[in-house]
Chains A and B, each alone.
Chain A
Amino acid sequence: EADIYQTPRYLVIGTGKKITLECSQTMGHDKMYWYQQDPGMELHLIHYSYGVNSTEKGDLSSESTVSRIRTEHFPLTLESARPSHTSQYLCASSGSGGETQYFGPGTRLLVL
């Protein structure tokens, strides 16, 4: 079944650690996105990609980085986690020519 997956679903980590949040989709979509969402707040786009080897920063400045080496995979990395990075991170994808984005289940990150 075509879907979009994120791991881990929950992560508690200490300050200064390097973390990678995984996102994979089996829908054959070209476009993928990372959003950050704090409780009660809007989703803010932090990174997006229109295809392999294409990555762009979103509207919200983020210290994270992304890569797109394979169409189905769009990992997000924080080199040195800080408490200010505590948030929910949502990955999404959309097909070419389509505005409808489909979301993964999200990763809730807590940095102590």
Chain B
Amino acid sequence: EDKVVQSPLSLVVHEGDTVTLNCSYEVTNFRSLLWYKQEKKAPTFLFMLTSSGIEKKSGRLSSILDKKELFSILNITATQTGDSAIYLCAVSTQGGSEKLVFGKGTKLTVNP
């Protein structure tokens, strides 16, 4: 059974801290890994990673994939209170169906 595990499940930091969120996966026929940010409403797309070792960056957020060790990390530098959210990791698999398998998410709280 395909599985995505995120850690930690919850994290509390102060503004300005740097955080690293982890996502490991066990799936058959891996195609890509996606990161989403979920605040009170819908998940919003952050990154899609398909190749190992290539960092994707958007402002203070960056992410990298290791297909050999089957994990990805999401880094957030100089955190702000607006970064408080649940960060979801999802994996898509090859083979016709384009379904995503989601982890439980990491709840990040950034205190002023």
Contacts and interface: CB of A to CB of B under 8 A. Distances in A.
A103 interface: yes
B102 A106 contact: no
How many chain A residues sit at the interface, stated as a range, is 20 to 34
B41 interface: yes
Interface string B27-49: 00001101010000111110010
B100 A101 contact: yes
26 contacts: A31-B98, A33-B99, A40-B104, A42-B4, A42-B102, A43-B102, A44-B102, A45-B99, A45-B100, A58-B99, A90-B43, A94-B98, A99-B48, A99-B92, A99-B98, A99-B100, A100-B34, A100-B45, A101-B45, A101-B100, A103-B36, A103-B42, A103-B43, A105-B42, A106-B41, A106-B42
Interface of B: 4, 31-32, 34, 36, 41-45, 48, 88, 90, 92, 98-100, 102-105
